[in-house]
Amino acid sequence: MPSAGWYTDPSEPSGQRYWDGAAWTEHTAPGAAPPSPPPQEAQWGDVPPASQQPMRSYTVEPDRGSKAPIVAVFVVIALVILVIGGAIALVVMARDDDSDPVEPSTSSFVMPTAVPPSAPSGQGQADDAATRSACETERAAVTTAIAAAKASTEAGSPATPGEFLMDPSQFDSYRWTGTSPDDWALEPIGTPPC
């Protein structure tokens, strides 16, 4: 089988057509070449006759068109992402500007002291469960406030457990006692239900 190259066009003898080594392609070129028969099925090692040898080589590349539209699409996408990112950054910075920076060593922690409302009397076990839950919440809140005050004091920012509780007067079951971190302790008020 003849090798790939330019040969006399079998459909237009005054021109040339490109043979890719297996079939004729759609690529043509002007110019006269000696007429040649179309390639026959060849055996391995066959050499084409001189009239079918490649005459001259042309490079034909398909027109891929301009890449400008694709580049423009990517530029628009990048700009949209930048605008959205900038808007988000402005919103975040605006929110951050509303408060003064807080130094970690001087920050305080406020422990919420919400106590579940007690159920109406006559509810039996539900009333007992609500009371126990409120008691356990108070015990956890006061214990956490004592620990937070000790940690704050050790970090160089003296504080008392009361500074970490929103309103200690709302507590019915527990409170804290003591005047320094060494003697702060959880103290029951009366006989707690938990």
pLDDT single digits (tens) 28-46:
988 754 545 555 565 565 5
pLDDT at 182 over 70: yes
Cα end-to-end span (Å), the chain? 99
Per the model's pLDDT, the better-predicted residue between 93 and 25 turns out to be 25
Other C-beta atoms closer than 10 Å to the C-beta of 28 total 17
pLDDT digit string, tens, across residues 103-141: 554 445 555 555 555 545 555 666 788 888 888 888 888
CA distance 45 to 49: 13
Which secondary-structure segment (H or E) carries 85? helix 68-97
Local confidence band at 57 (pLDDT 50, 70, 90 cut-offs): low
Q: Can you give the pLDDT at residue 80?
A: 94
Q: Can you give the pLDDT at residue 76?
A: 94
